[in-house]
Structure 1
Amino acid sequence: MADRPDSPTARDVLWRFGPMVYGPTVLFALGEGAVLPVIPVIAADLGADLAVAALVASALVVGQLCGNIPAGWAVARIGERLTMALAGVVSLAGILGMALAPSLGLFAVAVFLIGFCAAAFGLARHSFMTTRVPLAFRARALSLLGGTFRLGMFVGPFVAAALIAVFGDEHVTIWFFGICLVATILLVLLGPDPETHFLPSTATRDAADTALAEDTGEPVTGTIPVPSRRTPRTGVFRTMWRHRDVLSRLGLAAASLSAVRSARQVVLPLWGVSIGLDAQTIALVVGVSGAIDFALFYASGQVMDRFGRLWAALPAMLLMGVGFIALSFTHDTDQSAMWFAMFAAVLGVGNGLSSGILLTLGADVAPKTDPAPFLGSWRTLTDAGGAVAPLLVSAIAATATLAVASGVMGAIGLVGALAFVRWVPRFVPRARG
């Protein structure tokens, strides 16, 4: 699809999105990445055993899972900018709760609140990019969004380690997160208004014009014109029902990708422990895998924009599926450490190639005039896949072995690859890859 002569280039849009979307994303992720490693530590200081500390840490994921649908409702009614600002302000209350909580229960509630607000913040950015980024470089823009989040999450733990070394108190990471949140709120409120600085993309305007001409009753938000205040809004649950076909098919395929990604973060450290490696070696292997993952995030967007979404989703799922299955056969070999490092790198490549694919597919199949309610459902599915995977790995490892758990996650990856082959061509128009 050729751009109009006066349309911005990919470089122009990506650069100008910096203070609106990418900057706040880095700040939020940097603070969240700094505080994540210390949540179990602080929970243990408040009296939790290992199992309860893990449960408290999972409250962040549970909060994010629960926050997606309400976030879709909020973005549809008050807009992306106000939703991000409100999520930042409420997150500050969660930060105060984490830092000052006198009991484990209040600390867990504060962690849940942070996750809930992270969902609202993430969905607002996703909705904004869906309606404003031209289709020709949508995947690159969304892959960069995923990459900026990964950058923050990657650097955050190193910042936390440095702060703890200087101040000798884990709570300093919470206050650092608070500083990041204040900077995020100021950037969102005082920076250029994303809802007026950029009009919706040409594809979105055309879809909106068509919807208005056909008088379908689709809700319209942001800067897209509304023909009448009496036009009925489609609620979140009605949107879920209306789009149940794509959610129950392509949405579940996306959830399988999220599950395999999440399993990688659990299986690799546990695998290193199970084959007798020391913590430093495990951290090095996992860190190299993460570095490979991060290095490929923009390449994923290039592939999706130039060749199609399936060309990123399918290799990613095949690499991670085969990688998990192959890893499951190496546990008791003489070269188990070497195989561990090699397949950790393979999983890093697969995960890197999938960067931005869930955001991009969600944007591709979302209603063009009001994507937020649909994206709330889409992100709930993908977050559910990511939340269930660690529980599945734990349950299988407890009843069988970690190798069996790795093999099962690999099988899920291969089934997910088949699902993408089946459903991406059906639901994502050929013009979009």
Structure 2
Amino acid sequence: MTDRPSDVSAREVLWRFGPMIYGPTVLFAVGEGAVIPLIPLLAAQLGADVALAALVASALVVGQLVGNIPAGWLVARFGERVAMTAAGLLALVGVAGMAFAPQLGLLAASVFLIGFCAAAFGLARHSFMTTRVPLSFRARSLSLLGGTFRLGMFVGPFAAAALLAIFGDEHAAVWFFGACLVATVLLVMLGPDPEKSIAAPVRPRDAAIRPMSEDTGEPVSGSIPTVERAGVFRTMWRYRGVLGKLGLAAASLSAVRSARQVVLPLWGVSIGLDAQTIALVVGISGAIDFALFYASGQVMDRFGRLWAALPAMTLMGAGFLALAFTHDLDQASMWFAMFAAVLGVGNGLSSGILLTLGADTAPTTDPAPYLGSWRTLTDAGGATAPLLVSAIAAVSSLAIATGAMGVIGLLGALAFVRWVPRFVPRTR
């Protein structure tokens, strides 16, 4: 199937999304990116050792993981705009808690709350674009959404460094995040309501959805509902097939992405590089990643989802697997830089894939509950990977842990080959 022809161009719709979706995304991500590197430092100021500081920092990921399903309910019941506003306001409470936390428990709870709100904010944007973006350029719009988030996370640490240089206090970055949240909430509240200003495109697929309510033959008065909201858990059960197959493949992609952020710095330390060199290599890899984010959407819209997912997973899986054999070579630093670049290319080509596949497989009339389950799976993959790398490295070596992530990447590539054509046909 395809969308009905429209006289609205891709450029026009994407431009109209700027103040509604992309602008708030950049603001939220810049503020969050400024705070994330400083969470362990804030924990250390309250007396945490290295392990406890890492645990406090992980509360952000845990909050995001836990928040996806409640966010699905919130968006389905109250709409994207209300959910984004509520998430921004509640995140301000978390910022205040981080700024004034007198002990570690409150700091961890505040970080958890911010992660919870980030899940609601992200799911609201995802759900809106699933229902409002025409299928013909869905992948490009969602890749651009992923790119704006990456831009914010890339700029945020530099903003934090500048604030530290000016004020000499880590809390300055926390208040900067608060200012970004205020601007985000104002933009969402005072800007045009995207749910009213852009109508959802009508697709033939919508008419094929079977009603949830049965005809009992009893006389009724008033309007007769044709589609009933299924709710979060009923939606999970109805779509257990795609979630348990394509969803697990998506989780493997999220795991490989997350492992890249952990393995590269550890690998540089393990082969004896100094911090400046490691930062340079990781930064170049991140720059390559960011430069390719829109290319992924172009490939998916023009050739199909698999043509972006398969090269991305193959490059990252093969990159990790090959890197695992270079630890003790004479030119280990050269191989490290080369495979870091390969991983950057693979990750860049995967930009927007998880968002797009989630949108493709979501029910068109009420996608939020489904997307909550989809994002829970992908976030779980990302949260599990660092723990897996740490556990394998503890009992064996970093090289074996890196190779294991490569195997997961290649198995994930096979899973995409198997399940993408089944659940996401080339034409819909």
Displacement after TM superposition at 1:215 (Å) = 3.0
Displacement after TM superposition at 1:207 (Å) = 3.5
Counterparts in 2 of 1:178 and 1:227: CA distance versus 1, 3 Å:
farther
Residue 31 of structure 1 corresponds to 31
Structure 2 CA distance for aligned equivalents of residues 342 and 21 of structure 1: 35
- Tell me the SS of whatever aligns to 1:136: helix
Tell me how far 1:235 sits from its aligned partner: 1.4
Q: Is the contact made by 2:213 and 2:226 (CA closer than 8 Å) also made in structure 1?
A: no
The letter of the residue matching 1:208 is: D
Match of residue 279 from structure 2: 283
- Of 395, 399, 403, 1:399 maps to 395
**Deviation, structure 1 residue 430:** 2.2
Whole-angstrom CA distance in 2 between matches of 1:321 and 1:4: 38
User: 1:77, 1:83 → 2: CA distance?
Assistant: 9
Cross-structure match for 2:374:
378
CA deviation string 1:126-170 (max 9, x = no partner): 000000000000000000000000000001000100100110000
- The residue that corresponds to 1:132 in the other structure is 132
Aligned AA (1:67): G
SS state at 1:17 partner: helix
In the alignment, what sits opposite 1:223? none
Cα offset, 1:201, TM superposition: 1.8
Equivalents in 2 of 1:98, 1:135: separation in Å? Answer: 41
C-alpha deviations, 1:364-387, integer Å up to 9, x for none? 000111000000000000000000
Is the CA contact (8 Å cut-off) linking 1:57 and 1:111 kept in structure 2?
Answer: yes
Q: Which runs of 5+ in 2 are unaligned?
A: 215-221
CA contact (8 A) 1:362 1:378 kept: yes
What corresponds to 2:240 in structure 1? 244
Aligned partners of 2:83 and 2:121 also within 8 Å: yes
Matched residue, 2:335 = 339
CA spacing shift, 1:367–1:2, aligned 2, 3 Å: closer
Partner of 1:356: 352
Aligned 1:103-114 pairs, distance under 5 A: 103-114=103-114
Percent identical = 77
Q: Cα distance 1:207–1:3, how it changes in 2: closer, same or farther (>3 A)? A: closer
Contact 1:29/1:153, CA 8 A, preserved across alignment? yes
Matches within 5 A, 1:26-425: 26-203=26-203, 206-211=204-209, 214-217=210-213, 228=224, 232-425=228-421
Find the counterpart in structure 1 of residue 217 from structure 2: none
Change (3 A) 1:217 1:344: farther
CA contact (8 A) 2:163 2:172 kept: yes
User: What does the per-residue CA deviation read over 1:195-251, in whole Å, with 9 as the maximum and x for residues that have no partner?
Assistant: 101000232xx443443xx53449xxxxxxx96469542110111011000000000
Q: Report how far residue 429 of structure 1 moved.
A: 2.0
* 1:364–1:428 CA contact under 8 A, matched in 2: yes
* TM-superposed deviation, 1:416: 0.2
Alignment CA distance shift 1:353-1:52 (3 Å): same
How many angstroms apart in 2 are the aligned matches of 1:7 and 1:210?
25
Q: Give the 4+ runs in structure 1 shifted more than 4 A.
A: 1-6, 226-231
- Give the distance between the partners of 1:182 and 1:137, measured in 2 at CA: 31
Instruction: Letter of the 1:263 partner, please give it.
Output: A
User: Which residue number in structure 1 is paired with residue 219 of structure 2?
Assistant: none
Distance 2:246 2:297 in 1: 19
Question: For the residues of structure 2 that align with 1:43 and 1:146, how far apart are their CA atoms?
Answer: 29
With normalisation by structure 1, the TM-score equals 0.95
Whether the 8 Å contact between 2:144 and 2:294 is mirrored in structure 1 is yes
Q: CA deviation at 1:321?
A: 0.3
Distance in structure 1 (CA, Å) of the matches to 2:6 and 2:242: 35
> Measured at CA, do residues 154 and 217 of structure 1 come closer, stay the same or move farther in structure 2, by a change above 3 Å?
farther
Q: CA deviation at 1:59?
A: 0.4
**1:65-123 Cα distance to aligned partner (Å, 9 max, x none):** 00000000000000000000000000000000000000001000000000000000000
Q: Which amino acid aligns with 2:22?
A: Y
* Counterpart Cα distance in 1 of 2:159 and 2:77: 37
Counterpart of 2:22 in structure 1 is: 22
Q: C-alpha distance in 2, partners of 1:158/1:318? A: 32
Q: CA RMSD in A?
A: 1.5
**1:284 partner amino acid:** L
SS of residue paired to 2:278? helix
The answer as to whether partners of 2:3 and 2:201 remain within 8 angstroms in 1 is no
CA contact (8 A) 1:217 1:233 kept: no
In structure 2, the CA distance between the partners of 1:7 and 1:202, relative to structure 1 (3 Å rule), is farther
With the length of structure 2 as denominator, give the TM-score of the two structures. 0.96
SS of the equivalent of 1:330 reads coil
Measure the CA separation in 1 of the matches of 2:336 and 2:84: 40
